[in-house]
Amino acid sequence: MAELLDINTTAKEFLALAAHQLATGDFAQAETTARAVLKITPKSAAGWHMLGDVLSVLPGRRGEASDAYDKAQNLDPKDTDAADAQTSLGERATVAPNKTRRERNLSLPHMAPADGKERLISEARAAEAREDWPVAKQAWETMLQIDPSDTWAWSQYGHLLSVNLHQYAEAEVAFRRAIEEDPTDDWAWGKLGIMLADFMGRVKEGQSMLRRAIALDPGECYYRGWLGWSLYRQSEDLAGAETELTAAVKLWPDYQWAYFHLGFVRMEMGDRPKKAEEALLRAEALEPQDVPTLYALATLYEEHMNRPRKALRAYQKLVELVPDDPVVYRQLGMLYQAALGDPKRAVEAYKRALEIDSHDFDVLARLGWLHWEVLDDVEEGIAYLAKAAEIAHDSPWVATHMGQALYHGAGQMDEAEAWFKKAVELDPDYDWAHAMLGALNFEHKEDVEAAEYHFRQAIRISPDYGFAWARLGRLLLMSESDVGETWQVLMHALELSPGSIDVLTDIVWMGVFRLYRPDLVADHAKQLVQRDPDSAYCRVLYGQVLRYTSADPSAALSELQKAVELAPDDHYAWHTYGEMLLYDLGDLEAAEEALLEAATKQSDCTTTDCDIGLVRYAIGREDAAVEHYERALELDSEDSHAWRAYGCFLFYSAGDVTLAEEAFDRAIELEPGNFEPWAMMAEFLDRQGDRADEAEAAHQKAAELAPDGLDVAEWATRFLEPKVLRL
């Protein structure tokens, strides 16, 4: 008994998951989930009902949907919803213009033939009116026994079999018999085409028959409407669909169904949102309470036109029309949360959705996300996410949300990593989870190899994943990987996210400090400051670029002054400001003041100590200078820059030449792949007078490692012979 209860509980959970997948448009996964239920409980009426619901929305699968509903009703005769759903399968096929179809003209009573055909037609029509389909079927069959050559009757019989009784194979026989009797019967061609394409999945054949119907009656909008629908839903031919649907509404200006699909097609095309809006507004005007049209309008305004207020009005209408539909409230919550920036109303909408369906893990996850990231209530956010994870324990999306909350919200790195790994186990091709694992390994664990693997996996899965490209670029930049690849990755990241401040900062940083080509990133640096004028870091980077690209030093100085004003406690801003005052302007007093201020913000910066050492030497305090250089090496004896700076000091202070060479050797040993220590060694040796061959070898090595176009001799001279000492 306990095992049976477990099976029933599992089945209910899976059915709830399938319902959610269906509501969110993940039809393939919904079908897989529904069939999984039927594997463990093959006599589950609810399972067959759910499978029918899924198949009913898939083009060409409505025949299978009808069979699933049949099984649901056989297992549970009280499931009237399954019967209603099966009946509604035929509604799409009967959505036709409100115009008179070619109907058989009944004879006057005294002229009626004696074969009884007209009486049988009347019986069939009366039975159809009261939805007594078996009686209607019997009447049509009896009539066709009397006159097997009646084309019109075969078409009507086929319509009954397909739309009302869902007997598609028999309906196909009837329609084909009608065509045999009269190959010019466009109605039979059209109805058979619709049924083959939409109900039976024989798309090409069905579309061909619809085109034949159009050729026979070019003025019938119905055929063009359904051909347009089939072209975009079943063949993904948006351009062809637009052509047919446009023709349909021209033939009948009040064809609401076609206007709706025309608007939807144009929205999917993505290049003419105003045209999509025009069609959808016409569909709404013709049928103001049409739920699909309002959903489409809301989506168009929210996702394609950046008109959140108009999207809000569409959702508010939907709330009035379908107040018990949780999907409306979920979408409304998402709109408030993202586009409208109103977290309070977003929470209200999400909670209303949960009142209707407390097991909607999508809403629970979004509520959790909203609480920890926007409302700064990490504990409440994780609680909501825990509920979502309990319901959807096999959802990689929920697992990644939980991992993100633990990573960025709670700072629980090990737990976050476990959730990200679970997401990847559930779906090895889940791009978001790979990207988060990459970020965690890079930023927290400093495992460059693992981070790079996951970033590249995310990109393999989703080649246009901007975040993964951006983080891969930063990783390659920080790990001093191949310069060419790093630049290409960052530039591609910028193409995907043109306004990304993170990507722009990395590009500018690379241009200045890795490529030594500030001119290459001058426009990027300017754009960076325009996008974030209140960022001290952006101002510093722009100032660095201007130091080397502007003939007017006041431009760079102004940017660095703004940086220290924006962030008076920022070490990097003060340090860069001090460097410019020292190396570019030779203002020793102001430079010393700025560098000492930088040292108070971060006392263990070796570069700051080296710069202060140069100031001390320039003002004649050589002993104090030595102390700063030695302190830098004490702080980090593995710092190549500190050894280079010490070697330069020993050179320009006419100190111990042997010790200076040892300092440059140590710098090379620490960074053999960096051109900088090689360049300084080359210039140092060149100035010894008798070591030209060694100097040339070091120079060649520096040139080999340096960015293309950089004059390594000129670059090294800036440090061996500081401008401030020549003033």
**160 CB-near residues (< 8 Å, 6+ apart):** 124, 128, 133, 136, 137, 140
Higher pLDDT, 47 or 329: 329
Pair (580, 613) in one structural domain = yes
* CATH number for 31: 1.25.40.10
Pair (18, 62) in one structural domain = yes
pLDDT band at 89, cuts 50/70/90?
Answer: low
As a whole number, mean pLDDT of residues 560-567 equals 97
Q: State how many domains the chain has.
A: 3
Closest CA to 487 of 517, 461, 460: 517
User: Which of 606, 636, 666 is at the close of a domain?
Assistant: 636
Residue 95 has pLDDT above 90, yes or no: no
What Rg value do the Cα atoms of the chain yield, rounded? 37
Q: What is the pLDDT of residues 652-689, one digit of tens each?
A: 998 889 999 999 999 999 999 889 999 999 999 999 98
Pair (28, 85) in one structural domain = yes
Does residue 592 belong to any structural domain of this protein? yes
User: Which of 584, 611, 636 is at the close of a domain?
Assistant: 636
Pair (33, 53) in one structural domain = yes
Does residue 518 belong to any structural domain of this protein? no
Does residue 60 belong to any structural domain of this protein? yes
Does residue 675 belong to any structural domain of this protein? yes
Pair (627, 665) in one structural domain = no
Does residue 136 belong to any structural domain of this protein? no
Full residue range of the structural domain in which residue 593 is found:
569-636
Angstrom CA distances, 47 to 33, 257, 390, stand at 10, 31, 21
Question: 131 in the Ramachandran plot: left (φ > 0), alpha (ψ -120 to 50) or beta?
Answer: left
Rounded Cα distance between 506 and 149, Å, is 78
Rounded Cα distance between 315 and 291, Å, is 10
Pair (609, 659) in one structural domain = no
Pair (632, 651) in one structural domain = no
Does residue 53 belong to any structural domain of this protein? yes
- Report yes or no: 281 and 297 within 8 Å, Cβ to Cβ: yes
As a whole number, mean pLDDT of residues 324-344 equals 95
Q: What is the pLDDT of residues 480-491, one digit of tens each?
A: 899 999 999 999
Sign of CA pseudo-dihedral 351, 352, 357, 363: negative
* CATH number for 671: 1.25.40
- Report yes or no: 456 and 481 within 8 Å, Cβ to Cβ: no
Query: Please, what is the average pLDDT of the chain?
Result: 90
Does residue 676 belong to any structural domain of this protein? yes
CA-CA-CA-CA torsion for 543, 545, 550, 554, nearest 10 degrees?
10
Does residue 716 belong to any structural domain of this protein? yes
User: Which of 33, 58, 89 is at the close of a domain?
Assistant: 89
Pair (620, 666) in one structural domain = no
Pair (672, 627) in one structural domain = no
Q: HSE of 588 in the Cβ direction (CA atoms, 13 Å)?
A: 15
Residue 402 has pLDDT above 50, yes or no: yes
Rounded Cα distance between 160 and 147, Å, is 18
Pair (6, 85) in one structural domain = yes
What is the rounded end-to-end Cα distance, in angstroms, of the chain? 94
